Amino acid sequence: MLRRYALAAATAALLAGPFVLAFRAGGYFDGPRIAALAGAWVLVAVAALGGRRLVPRDTAGRAALAGLVALAAWTAVSVAWAPVREAAVDDVQRLALYAGGLVAAAALLRPRAALRALEPAALAGLVAMALFGMLDRLLPELVELDRHFSAGSRLEQPLTYWNAMGLACALGLVLAARLAGDRTRGDRVRIAAACAAAPLGLALYLTFSRGALAAAAAGLVVLLAVAPTWTQLRSLALVLEAGAVAAAVGSLLPAVVSYSATEDERQLQALVMVAVLGLVVLAAGGVQAWACRVERAGAARLGRLPLPRRSALLAAGLVAVAATGFVAAAARERQAAPLPTGATAQRLSSIQSNRYQYWRVALATFADHPVAGVGTGGFRREWERRRTIPEHARDAHSLYLETLAELGLIGLAALALAAGGVAVAARRALRSAPVAAAGPVAGLVAWAFHAGIDWDWEMPALTLLALLFAGALLALADGTQPERA
């Protein structure tokens, strides 16, 4: 009995952990990150003492864990030649946290109840983050959040970085669409998921994050490919409509979008936004409730969509094309000066970015240090040496290119082993338990897409959430069956 309670408490802590970190600047700084590192390995110990298997029997699961552990070990070794010791130590701590997080997730998410709780818990946490970040816009007379000068009017709290908040909202929309379209869930869960789309859509718009919008699109495309049902299509359309309506109304209220308005304007337009948001939430919930009723009555079209047999491959191709287009658009930019501080909604129709400059330096660094890299955390030093614009940067804004620059081909091979293991496990999970695997797969795709164009790897709150998805897929591939045939 005591062991069961301990495992239940550990699972609850695992699911809540990323969102506790989210309200401590995403775990970016030393104190919260070290506390999370200790907590992750405590959860591993509890799982081991509770009789859970820490190393999967499945080859793909073992490869994923081995790849992440190898990446952590190689990162620690590279401290010997890393040019910035403090940054190198931070990276080692981060990798140790991620390794513990994946081991704990794969072990603790084996029971059916834990797997079923993952998506609703994650969606609830993401909605809480979005609502918290908008409090000073929706209740300006009661709440004032901290704001950084560089953010301008972009929504950045609680993670303190607008693009990271954009990814959080994108993941929330993907999970909302999945839960609303999952007929194995109760009506209340499906209705609540549809309602969540409105605040998530508004919050995503307020981040002005183009990369997050692209990540949301990638995740939703993959979701429909791995869960190709009429029910999923209807719910996905409802979530998109609710999010888009809330965002469209928000875009028409300048005092909600920008902090530059007067107090009277902010309070008046906040009331309008709250009222509209409430109406959209009620409308989305009502439509989803109606959909649940007609599905039970057999009056709505059910079953699979008439998609090609290789629709999953087609979705992967579309995501790859989108990623290539994003990189190509950034590559055409030849920015000669720092970008202006802050941003407005106009940036959503622009490709203006300095990312190509970061990527160019990362590739040049890799060319000079192809095997072992320049050392973990060393990109910032190489940027100072090689940059062509007077802008400060610590990260290459791409997990994959930064790994090449700092850890070389050895580091990239370890990362590829981890990612490949998760990908194979995801394929097996989709075959054995497609209902349970669809949401984690779509969420992971959205995270992996965005990690290629921003520094999500250095934001533990978001990466740990992705590792929860990965751990669920490893558990499913290892034989866990969370659903009845």
Is the CB of residue 427 less than 8 Å from the CB of residue 80? no
pLDDT digit string, tens, across residues 420-448: 999 999 999 999 999 999 999 999 999 99
- 308 pLDDT band, cuts 50/70/90, is confident
Decide which of 190 and 348 is more confident.
190
CA-based angle 71:393:344, to the nearest 5?
Answer: 115
Residue 120 token pair: 């609703």
pLDDT digit string, tens, across residues 208-243: 999 999 999 999 999 999 999 999 999 999 999 999
What residues contact 333, with CB distance under 8 A and at least 6 apart? 351, 352, 353, 354, 355, 356
CA-based angle 278:280:285, to the nearest 5?
Answer: 95
Decide which of 451 and 308 is more confident.
451
Mean pLDDT of the chain: 92
Cβ atoms within 10 Å of 334's Cβ, excluding its own: 9
Distance CA 30, CA 27 (A): 8
Lowest mean pLDDT among 271-275, 320-324, 351-355, 449-453: 320-324
Beta partners for 304? Answer: 229
Question: Residue 205's Cα: distance from chain center in Å?
Answer: 16
Is the CB of residue 19 less than 8 Å from the CB of residue 125? yes
Residue 340 has pLDDT above 60, yes or no: no
pLDDT digit string, tens, across residues 38-93: 999 999 999 999 999 999 999 999 999 999 999 999 999 999 999 999 999 999 99
pLDDT of residue 148: 85
Q: Is the dihedral of CA 337, 338, 340, 343 positive or negative?
A: positive
Distance CA 388, CA 191 (A): 51
Decide which of 308 and 280 is more confident.
280
pLDDT of residue 216: 97
pTM above 0.85, yes or no: yes
Residue 94 token pair: 């981060």
Locate the DSSP E strands across 281-328: none
The helix (H) or strand (E) run that includes residue 386 is helix 379-386
Is the CB of residue 362 less than 8 Å from the CB of residue 173? no
Residue 170 has pLDDT above 70, yes or no: yes
- 29 pLDDT band, cuts 50/70/90, is very high
Residue 133 token pair: 């970040």
Q: What is the 3-state secondary structure (H, E, C) of 283-324?
A: HHHHHHHHHHHHHHHCCCCCCECCCCCCHHHHHHHHHHHHHH
Decide which of 173 and 298 is more confident.
173
Question: Span 191-196, mean pLDDT?
Answer: 98
Residue 377 has pLDDT above 60, yes or no: yes
Which amino acid type is present at position 90?
Answer: D
Ramachandran area for residue 406 (φ above 0: left; ψ -120 to 50: alpha; else beta): alpha
Residue 311 has pLDDT above 70, yes or no: no
DSSP 252-284: T-HHHH-TTS-HHHHHHHHHHHHHHHHHHHHHH
Distance CA 390, CA 408 (A): 26
Q: Is the dihedral of CA 75, 78, 80, 81 positive or negative?
A: negative
Proportion of the chain above pLDDT 70, given as a percent:
90
Question: Span 144-155, mean pLDDT?
Answer: 88
